[in-house]
C-alpha cells in the first residue's frame, strides 16, 4: 500500500497534479484510487467524469471518489459535536481560549481522512492518491487528532467521573449538560479512528506528501512553511512540484511573468534541495480530462514510477546518548528563536508560529527531562537527560 498526499496553496494545481499522478499510477499497473478530501471538489471536473461519495471506476485500474465530508462528520462525530455544542454554550464560549475552540469540529474535512483508513484497511488498492484541501487547512487537520486526544483526555475523565457520581443528582441540581454513554463511546471511537489515520499518514513506509507550488513569491513562501510544518508533525515529504512554468516562446504580457519565474526557479531549486523538484509547464489550455492529464504526468514523472519513494530523508527520531536520549525533529526554514518548547509530564509541546505539535513522549523519554535544545542541520535536537 502506498499513499501519495498532494498539498499546496489554493489554485496551484493540486487537483490536476493528483489526477495526472493517479492516471499514471494506474497505467503502470497499480490499482489506484484518487480521492478528494477538499470539500470544494473539483476532482470530477479534472477527470472529466461525474464522481460520487463512493468510489467509481474511471479507467482500467483507476477509481475515483469525492468524499462527502458532511456525511463523514455526521456519522462519526455528530453525537459528540451536539454534546460539545451544548457544553460550550452552557459554559459560555468566552471562557474558552480562542485557539483551542477553533480546533473543535465544524472541521468536516478531517473526517474525510477517515476514508483513507477505510481503504487502507480494506486493501483493495495498491495506491491511494489524496487531493487535499489547500495547505493551511490540511496541516491544521493533520494535527487535529493530537489536539482532540488532548481535549478528550481532559474533558472526558471529568465527564466520566460526573457520570458515575453526579448524574442522577446533576440532572436535578444543575443544568450542566452531562454526556451520556453513547457520547463518550462515540467520541472514543472517533478519536481512535483519527489517531489511526494519523498513524497511517505518518508511516514513512506508506505515505509521503508532495507540495505543489508555482513560481511566485507568496506561493514559494507558503510551500516552505508547509515543509516546515509537515516535518514538525512527523510527515515525510518526498518531492516538491513546480507547476505552470511558462515556456520560452511567450510574449507580451506573459514575457514579464516568464522573466519573474526565471528568477524564482533557481531559488526554488536551491531552497528545496535535496528534495527532488518535479516540473510541469503552463499548458496552452486548462488541463482537463485524461487526454490532457496524460502529457502532464509524462512531463512530471518521465520514466519514473510516481508511486515510488522519490526521496528518503531524515525524519523524527530518538537517539540514545551517554546522558540519556536526543529527540531530533527536522524543521527546515526555521530559526531557533521561532521555536518554543514546553514539557509537561509525558508530553513535549513544540510551537512554531501558530502551529503547535504535542508529541506524546515514548516511555524512555517521558521519565527524563528536556535539558537543552539547539538547531543542527535544519533540525531541532532536544537533549533529554536523567
Ligand X SMILES: Nc1ncnc2c1ncn2[C@@H]1O[C@H](COP(=O)(O)OP(=O)(O)OP(=O)(O)O)[C@@H](O)[C@H]1O
Contact footprint for ligand X (CB under 6 A): 8, 10-16, 38, 42, 134, 243-244, 280, 282-283, 286-288
Binding partner of 280, given Mg ion, ligand X, none, CB within 5-8 angstroms per partner class:
ligand X
7 binding Mg ion? (CB under 5 A): no
All residues at 6 or more sequence positions from 167 whose CB lies less than 8 Å from its CB, including other chains: 178
Binding partner of 243, given Mg ion, ligand X, none, CB within 5-8 angstroms per partner class:
ligand X
The residue (of 240 and 379) whose beta carbon lies closer to ligand X is: 240
Crossing angle of helices 69-91 and 181-201, in 10° steps, is 130
**Residue 58: which of 43, 72, 68 has the closest Cα?**
43
Other residues' Cβ atoms within 10 Å of the Cβ of residue 140: 19
Q: Cβ 22 to Mg ion, closest distance in Å?
A: 13
Q: Cβ 36 to ligand X, closest distance in Å?
A: 8
Q: Cβ 292 to ligand X, closest distance in Å?
A: 8
Residues 171, 175: Cα–Cα separation, whole Å: 7
Q: Cβ 12 to ligand X, closest distance in Å?
A: 5
- How many residues appear in the chain? 386
Task: Tell me which of 15, 224, 231, 243 binds Mg ion, using CB under 5 A.
Answer: 15
**DSSP H helical ranges for the chain:** 14-27, 43-47, 69-91, 98-102, 108-112, 114-122, 135-165, 167-173, 181-201, 217-232, 253-272, 290-301, 363-366
Binding partner of 327, given ligand X, Mg ion, none, CB within 5-8 angstroms per partner class:
none
Binding partner of 48, given Mg ion, ligand X, none, CB within 5-8 angstroms per partner class:
none
Q: Cβ 311 to Mg ion, closest distance in Å?
A: 24
Residue 269 β-bridge partners: none
The residue (of 13 and 306) whose beta carbon lies closer to ligand X is: 13
Binding partner of 224, given ligand X, Mg ion, none, CB within 5-8 angstroms per partner class:
none
> With contact defined as beta carbons under 8 Å apart, do 170 and 178 qualify?
yes
> With contact defined as beta carbons under 8 Å apart, do 277 and 239 qualify?
yes
Q: Cβ 244 to ligand X, closest distance in Å?
A: 5
Sign (positive/negative) of CA torsion 26, 198, 134, 276? negative
Residues 380, 362: Cα–Cα separation, whole Å: 17
**Residue 68: which of 105, 106, 104, 108 has the closest Cα?**
108
24 binding Mg ion? (CB under 5 A): no
Q: Cβ 36 to Mg ion, closest distance in Å?
A: 7
Q: Cβ 373 to ligand X, closest distance in Å?
A: 36
Binding partner of 287, given ligand X, Mg ion, none, CB within 5-8 angstroms per partner class:
ligand X
Binding partner of 23, given Mg ion, ligand X, none, CB within 5-8 angstroms per partner class:
none
Tell me which residues in 33-62 interact with Mg ion (CB under 5 A). Answer: 42
138 binding Mg ion? (CB under 5 A): no
In angstroms, what CA-CA distances link 116 with 124, 127, 221, 260? 12, 11, 29, 39
Closest residue to Mg ion: CB criterion: 15
The residue (of 133 and 352) whose beta carbon lies closer to Mg ion is: 133
231 binding Mg ion? (CB under 5 A): no
Q: Which residues bind Mg ion (CB under 5 A)?
A: 14-15, 42
Amino acid at each position: 500500500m502506498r499513499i501519495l498526499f498532494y498539498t499546496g496553496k489554493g489554485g496551484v494545481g493540486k487537483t490536476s497534479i493528483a489526477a495526472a499522478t493517479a492516471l499514471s499510477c494506474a497505467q503502470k499497473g497499480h490499482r489506484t484510487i484518487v480521492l478528494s478530501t477538499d470539500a470544494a471538489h473539483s476532482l470530477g471536473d479534472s477527470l472529466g467524469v461525474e464522481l460520487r461519495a463512493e468510489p467509481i471506476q474511471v479507467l482500467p485500474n483507476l477509481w475515483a471518489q469525492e468524499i462527502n465530508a458532511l456525511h463523514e462528520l455526521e456519522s462519526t462525530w455528530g453525537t459528540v459535536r451536539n454534546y460539545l455544542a451544548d457544553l460550550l454554550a452552557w459554559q459560555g464560549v468566552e471562557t474558552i481560549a480562542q485557539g483551542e475552540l477553533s480546533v473543535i469540529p465544524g472541521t468536516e474535512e478531517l473526517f474525510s481522512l477517515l476514508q483513507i483508513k477505510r481503504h487502507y484497511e480494506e486493501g483493495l488498492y495498491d495506491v491511494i492518491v489524496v487531493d487535499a484541501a489547500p495547505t493551511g487547512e490540511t496541516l491544521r487537520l493533520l494535527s487535529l487528532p493530537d489536539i482532540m486526544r488532548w481535549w478528550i483526555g481532559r474533558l472526558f475523565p471529568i465527564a466520566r467521573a460526573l457520570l458515575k457520581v453526579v448524574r442522577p443528582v446533576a440532572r436535578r441540581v444543575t443544568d450542566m449538560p452531562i454526556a451520556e454513554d453513547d457520547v463518550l463511546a462515540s467520541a472514543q471511537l472517533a478519536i481512535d479512528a483519527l489517531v489511526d489515520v494519523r498513524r497511517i499518514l505518518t508511516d514513512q513506509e506508506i505515505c509521503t506528501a508532495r507540495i505543489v507550488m508555482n513560481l511566485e513569491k507568496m506561493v514559494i513562501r507558503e510551500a516552505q512553511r508547509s515543509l516546515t510544518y509537515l516535518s514538525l508533525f512527523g510527515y515525510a515529504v518526498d518531492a516538491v512540484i513546480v507547476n505552470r512554468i511558462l515556456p520560452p516562446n511567450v510574449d507580451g504580457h506573459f514575457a514579464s511573468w516568464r522573466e519573474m519565474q526565471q528568477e524564482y526557479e533557481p531559488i526554488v531549486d536551491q531552497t528545496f534541495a535535496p528534495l527532488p523538484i518535479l516540473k510541469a509547464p503552463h499548458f496552452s489550455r486548462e488541463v482537463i480530462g485524461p487526454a490532457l492529464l496524460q502529457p502532464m504526468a509524462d512531463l512530471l514523472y518521465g520514466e519514473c514510477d510516481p508511486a515510488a519513494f522519490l526521496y528518503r530523508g531524515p525524519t523524527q527520531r530518538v537517539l540514545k546518548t551517554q546522558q540519556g536520549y536526543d529527540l531530533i525533529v527536522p524543521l527546515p526554514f526555521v530559526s531557533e528563536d521561532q521555536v518554543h518548547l514546553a514539557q509537561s509530564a509525558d508530553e513535549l509541546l513544540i510551537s512554531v508560529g501558530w502551529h503547535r505539535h504535542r508529541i506524546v513522549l515514548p516511555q524512555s523519554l517521558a521519565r527524563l527531562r528536556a535539558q537543552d535544545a539547539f538547531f543542527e542541520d535544519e533540525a531541532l535536537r532536544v537533549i533529554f537527560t536523567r
